[in-house]
């Protein structure tokens, strides 16, 4: 005779290992979820510990206010990070000039003008552009954009801030476009229709209604993209050169924070040397920059959101 | 008496209409910049690399001579890397997502974990390299092995997989869950037999896209000291290795112009691998889309 349902339930409840599994699994999954927290802690602790070691050899104020970055000099090594920050800002500035107008315009087009068919083609194009590895962009900057710039402006050197700046800009366009488009798409249709009914043109609806309403999201997308540009490594390592400079020249070789870390890692900076610790100090500075930008983006999108 | 001054309206109207039609094309042109950039990029790389792409290129090791340089070690190295990254990152990512969506109580710890994951996604990859160098290469003494690089890459793409898996799990309808509980299934049984099978297309799509990011990342590999010139294939996860983007980086930064063509050919191989992975993701997405 087949057992009744009650018997089956009773038998199943009697199985001990099933209860044990139900107890163990949540703990196991919690441990797995805490790996991401451990990673963050690991990053912060690693950077801080090695940076402190660095500051036992190089005074803190020489580091953050110094205008000469000369780590490889044997007798007169100097670690003033400002030239690397200036290099990073040069590339980021050009990238922002390229990416912000194009990215926001593309977002307006996609959310306000494009038909469903056009969107179906253009959105994947942006996704592909976002998925291209940065090393490929770096190759493109060095072998294509720089020669073109040189043929127009002969004073531009083979390594400069402009070409990687433009290419970093192209790289972050998809990010600005898709995040801004998300923000614009979430503006309610009724507001647009109200403006259209009052006789606004489509452009006026986009410019005076949608963009202001989605402004917090748009600004957040720009801040996130700038943070990405600051942390971008391969494009600047290949195309921007390795000359830390504290000046306003964009046409010659520069060095960014990220490119310095790559330059040292590529060579054999022995473990325990000041140069070895300097990449952590530079990495920590970079980390602070990007973290501040990311927190700012989160704050802007939360604090200034227009609720409908 | 007329309520509307027609003259004035017409005068303003023209300017507004012109602005309207001009800006439509300005916005379209901006959108097309992205498309044009992509076309030029692909055209340049294919026209440069095509001449160098051959069977020998795939089966030769790296060489000082551009005509003999091949990508074998890097291609095999990248596949080895994926053998470590895929299981590590998917187990960690999906596990975290299940915890956050199914088990986590709404308390401060949960909020902290969520915030932490979104912040982690914004950390530059080169900083992950510094983490890998200190923890995996030095503290755990893994050296510049496949395992050390794989763990570093896994942590790098972890946030992407967690977020994608969370979305996939969240989109499983509540009725399925209720039905399973109603039939007397335990929570873990419901997760394994009902929720995960329903969420697997979304999880896989997100994971494959994350893995394709890992395969193209260069900076962390450079920082943890992955070498370029390797004349043998790795035999296990503790061996040293090189990877596609490392090899491309090396060729791109060489002064001889011939090596640029070699680099372009290398990029074509890398892009082919990415295209393959992405098309699998698209196929999965289309095949399992909207089952409920």
Asked if A176 has any chain B CB less than 8 Å from its own CB, the reply is no
Asked if B111 has any chain A CB less than 8 Å from its own CB, the reply is no
Query: Closest residue of A to B254, CA-based?
Result: A238
- pLDDT (tens digit, 9 = 90+) per residue, B219-257? 999 999 888 888 888 888 899 999 999 999 999 988 888
**Rounded to an integer, what distance in angstroms lies between the CA atom of residue B163 and that of residue B167?**
6
Both tokens of A184, joined, read: 């614009």
**Rounded to an integer, what distance in angstroms lies between the CA atom of residue A56 and that of residue A197?**
68
- What residues have CB less than 8 Å from B260, skipping those under 6 apart? A139, A143, B48, B251, B252
Q: How confident is the model at residue A76 (pLDDT cuts 50, 70, 90)?
A: confident
The packing angle between helices A274-303 and B125-132, to 10°, is 140
**Phi/psi of residue B145, each to 5°?**
-90, 170
Query: Closest residue of A to B14, CA-based?
Result: A201
Q: Does residue B105 register a pLDDT over 80? A: yes
Selected for mutation to probe chain B from A22, A26, A27, A39 (highest B CB count within 10 Å) is: A39
> Which chain A residues are closer than 8 Å to B227 by Cβ?
none
> Which chain A residues are closer than 8 Å to B130 by Cβ?
43, 46-47, 261, 279-280, 283
- pLDDT (tens digit, 9 = 90+) per residue, B155-189? 999 999 999 999 999 999 999 999 999 998 889 99
- pLDDT (tens digit, 9 = 90+) per residue, A182-235? 999 999 999 999 999 998 999 999 999 999 999 999 999 999 999 999 999 999
CB contact under 8 A, B41 and A136: yes
Inter-residue contact A250 to A160 (CB < 8 Å): yes
Count Cα atoms within 13 angstroms, Cβ side, for A290: 25
- What residues have CB less than 8 Å from B56, skipping those under 6 apart? B70
pLDDT at position A72 is 86
DSSP state of B125: H
Asked if A143 has any chain B CB less than 8 Å from its own CB, the reply is yes
Mean pLDDT of chain A: 91
Selected for mutation to probe chain B from A5, A47, A114, A136 (highest B CB count within 10 Å) is: A136
Asked if A33 has any chain B CB less than 8 Å from its own CB, the reply is yes
**Rounded to an integer, what distance in angstroms lies between the CA atom of residue B125 and that of residue A134?**
11
Helix (H) or strand (E) holding A42: helix A16-57
Query: Closest residue of B to A34, CA-based?
Result: B113
**Rounded to an integer, what distance in angstroms lies between the CA atom of residue B147 and that of residue B139?**
14
CB contact under 8 A, B245 and A125: no
Inter-residue contact A209 to A195 (CB < 8 Å): yes
Q: What is the mean pLDDT of residues B52-73?
A: 85
Both tokens of B186, joined, read: 């335990």
Report the percent of chain B where pLDDT is more than 90.
Answer: 64
**Which residue, A231, A131, A127, is CA-closest to B120?**
A231
Q: Distance, in angstroms, between B3 CA and closest chain A CA?
A: 16
Residues 265-284 of B with CB under 8 A from A: 267, 270-271, 274, 278
Beta A69-70 vs A78-79: how paired, if at all? antiparallel
* B134 closest CB neighbour out of A26, A50, A265: A50
- What residues have CB less than 8 Å from B275, skipping those under 6 apart? none
3-class DSSP state of B173: coil
Class of domain A79-303: mainly alpha
DSSP state of A69: E
Asked if B213 has any chain A CB less than 8 Å from its own CB, the reply is yes
**Rounded to an integer, what distance in angstroms lies between the CA atom of residue B157 and that of residue A224?**
18
Q: Does residue B292 register a pLDDT over 80? A: no
CB contact under 8 A, B119 and A291: yes
DSSP state of B232: S
Q: How confident is the model at residue B203 (pLDDT cuts 50, 70, 90)?
A: very high
CB contact under 8 A, B162 and A36: yes
Domain boundaries, given as residue ranges, for chain A: 79-303
CB contact under 8 A, B274 and A131: yes
**Which residue, A230, A222, A223, A284, is CA-closest to A259?**
A230
Q: Does residue A13 register a pLDDT over 80? A: no
Q: What is the ipTM of this complex?
A: 0.91
The residue written with tokens 């510049």 in the block is: B144
**Rounded to an integer, what distance in angstroms lies between the CA atom of residue B75 and that of residue A257?**
30
Asked if B73 has any chain A CB less than 8 Å from its own CB, the reply is no
CB contact under 8 A, A138 and B252: yes
Query: Closest residue of A to B28, CA-based?
Result: A109
Q: Distance, in angstroms, between B124 CA and closest chain A CA?
A: 5
Burial of B173 (0-12, 13-18, 19+ CB in 10 A): exposed
pLDDT at position B2 is 67
**Rounded to an integer, what distance in angstroms lies between the CA atom of residue A210 and that of residue B26?**
17
Query: Closest residue of A to B9, CA-based?
Result: A199
CB contact under 8 A, A113 and B28: yes
**Rounded to an integer, what distance in angstroms lies between the CA atom of residue A100 and that of residue A86?**
20
Which residue would you say has higher pLDDT here, A305 or A260? A260
Selected for mutation to probe chain A from B14, B122, B278 (highest A CB count within 10 Å) is: B122
E strands, chain A, are 69-70, 78-79
Q: What is the mean pLDDT of residues A111-136?
A: 89
């Amino acid at each position: 005779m087949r057992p009744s349902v009650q018997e089956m339930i009773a038998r199943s409840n009697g199985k001990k290992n099933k209860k044990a599994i139900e107890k163990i699994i949540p703990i196991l999954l919690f441990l797995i979820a805490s790996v991401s927290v451990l990673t963050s802690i690991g990053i912060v602790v690693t950077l801080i510990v090695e940076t402190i070691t660095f500051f036992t050899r190089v005074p803190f104020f020489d580091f953050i206010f110094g205008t000469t970055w000369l780590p490889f000099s044997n007798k007169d090594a100097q670690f003033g990070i400002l030239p690397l920050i200036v290099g990073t800002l040069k590339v980021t500035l050009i990238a922002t000039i390229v990416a912000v107008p194009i990215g926001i315009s593309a977002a307006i087009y996609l959310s306000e003008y494009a038909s469903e068919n056009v969107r179906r083609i253009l959105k994947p194009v942006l996704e592909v552009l976002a998925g291209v590895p940065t090393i490929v962009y770096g190759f493109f900057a060095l072998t294509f954009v720089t020669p073109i710039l040189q043929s127009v402006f002969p004073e531009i050197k083979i390594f400069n801030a402009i070409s990687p700046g433009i290419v970093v800009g192209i790289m972050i366009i998809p990010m600005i476009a898709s995040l801004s488009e998300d923000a614009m798409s979430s503006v309610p249709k009724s507001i647009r229709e109200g403006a259209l009914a009052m006789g606004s043109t489509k452009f006026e609806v986009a410019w005076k209604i949608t963009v202001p309403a989605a402004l917090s999201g748009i600004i957040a997308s720009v801040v996130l993209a700038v943070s990405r540009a600051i942390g971008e490594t391969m494009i600047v390592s290949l195309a921007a050169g390795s000359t830390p400079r504290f000046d306003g020249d964009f046409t010659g070789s520069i060095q960014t924070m990220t490119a310095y870390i790559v330059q040292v890692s590529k060579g054999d900076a022995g473990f325990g040397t000041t140069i070895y610790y300097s990449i952590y100090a530079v990495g920590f500075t970079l980390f602070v920059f990007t973290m501040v930008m990311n927190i700012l983006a989160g704050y802007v999108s939360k604090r200034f959101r227009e609720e409908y | 008496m007329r309520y509307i001054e027609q003259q004035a309206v017409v005068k303003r109207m023209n300017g507004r209409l012109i602005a309207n039609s001009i800006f439509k094309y300005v916005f379209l042109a901006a959108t097309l910049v992205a498309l044009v950039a992509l076309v030029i990029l692909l055209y340049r790389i294919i026209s440069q690399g095509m001449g160098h792409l051959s069977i020998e290129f795939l089966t030769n090791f790296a060489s000082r001579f551009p005509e003999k340089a091949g990508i074998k070690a890097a291609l095999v190295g990248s596949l080895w890397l994926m053998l470590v990254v895929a299981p590590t990152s998917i187990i960690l990512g999906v596990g975290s997502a299940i915890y956050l969506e199914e088990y986590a109580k709404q308390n401060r710890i949960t909020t902290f974990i969520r915030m932490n994951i979104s912040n982690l996604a914004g950390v530059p990859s080169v900083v992950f390299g510094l983490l890998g160098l200190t923890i995996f290469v030095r503290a755990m003494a893994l050296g510049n092995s496949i395992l050390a690089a794989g763990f570093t890459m896994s942590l790098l793409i972890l946030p992407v997989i967690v977020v994608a898996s969370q979305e996939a799990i969240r989109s499983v309808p509540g009725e399925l869950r209720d039905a399973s509980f109603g039939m007397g299934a335990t929570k873990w049984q419901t997760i394994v037999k009902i929720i995960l099978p329903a969420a697997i297309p979304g999880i896989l799509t997100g994971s494959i896209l994350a893995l394709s990011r890992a395969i193209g990342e260069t900076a962390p590999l450079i920082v943890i000291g992955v070498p370029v010139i390797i004349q043998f294939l790795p035999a296990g996860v503790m061996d040293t290795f090189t990877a596609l983007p490392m090899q491309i980086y090396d060729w791109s930064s060489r002064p001889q112009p011939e090596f640029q063509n070699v680099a372009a050919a290398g990029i074509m191989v890398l892009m082919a691998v990415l295209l393959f992975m992405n098309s699998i993701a698209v196929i999965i997405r289309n095949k399992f889309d909207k089952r409920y």
